[in-house]
Structure 1
């Protein structure tokens, strides 16, 4: 996923394990936001198809004056590069003691694991690799989605 700017309110981040198809477990950092406004969103997935080759799905939104808006946004990532500014941040909080992020994330948290939280997180020039993204509401202004043969990734 690539994002020009993500302005998130009610941020929490903690580590956990995601279970993928086939039962494989992968370590991830969950970044969760109560509310987020996103400019310049690009998400891509490349799937290898036997006897055909790679197929890419690429989604873009929020490139006009209308931003992408998300409520209760969860991103399970294993790599993140960005410029970041946090306001009202607490680092080293036990995941079970976080209060600033979305309330419906308790099923993924190990209550004793390491976490951080902030009133606001402003990230720019974001490049991240995510295993999963979910939201209670995801308003994709200016949505464009394309399927193509070969690798056509956001970065």
Structure 2
């Protein structure tokens, strides 16, 4: 069964170099990357924040794409793939407007020297900040030839690397999926929407 990504590559789009980050998600589904559980879904109407004091990953690629929502609108994203990652002091936050006002959800994990871990990630992101180091990076490769299982469209701009390290990471994203996500010391809390990861 063929792996289906939550975002689509977008022919002709060129994205500036960026790096991936694993994010906390309710889609903690084993077998996605092996095709056992095909994934295709519409994103919500809210982007979310992710931060980590340190990300260490292997098997990285990135290319342009879109994340569709339930209204049929495509959101332009940088599709980032990472084979395996550990994340120290991981945080995810999202704010939603409700009839009772703004409601926030704040999730933390991977603190106290026991980082969270994830494998076979794909993220549809719009912004990223941090201090990054790449091992054996290739910039400007054809997106259909990147060194990860998930690939982009023929002729599209892409980059890949054997390893990636990001310190003081801050990211905004529309979507993510992972085959396995281990959240050590997870804490989920509702907020009034005034508190985020950054």
Indicate the structure with greater strand content. Answer: 1
Give the number of aligned pairs: 149
Runs of 4+ in 1 over 4 A off after TM superposition: none
How big is the shift at 1:11?
A: 0.5
Contiguous gaps of at least 5 residues in structure 2: 1-49
Match of 2:117 in 1: 69
Residues 1:20 and 2:69 are matched in the alignment: yes
8 Å CA contact 2:105, 2:193 repeated in 1: no
In 1, distance between residues paired with 2:105 and 2:88? 20
TM-score (norm 1): 0.92
Residues 1:139 and 2:182 are matched in the alignment: yes
Indicate the structure with greater helix content. Answer: 1
In 2, distance between residues paired with 1:146 and 1:60? 9
In 1, distance between residues paired with 2:161 and 2:111? 27
Contiguous gaps of at least 5 residues in structure 1: none
8 Å CA contact 2:79, 2:124 repeated in 1: yes
1:17-68 deviations in Å (ceiling 9; x for gaps): 1102211111101121110011011000100012x11000110000112111
In 1, distance between residues paired with 2:167 and 2:85? 13
Match of 1:123 in 2: 166
TM-score (norm 2): 0.73
In 2, distance between residues paired with 1:47 and 1:16? 25
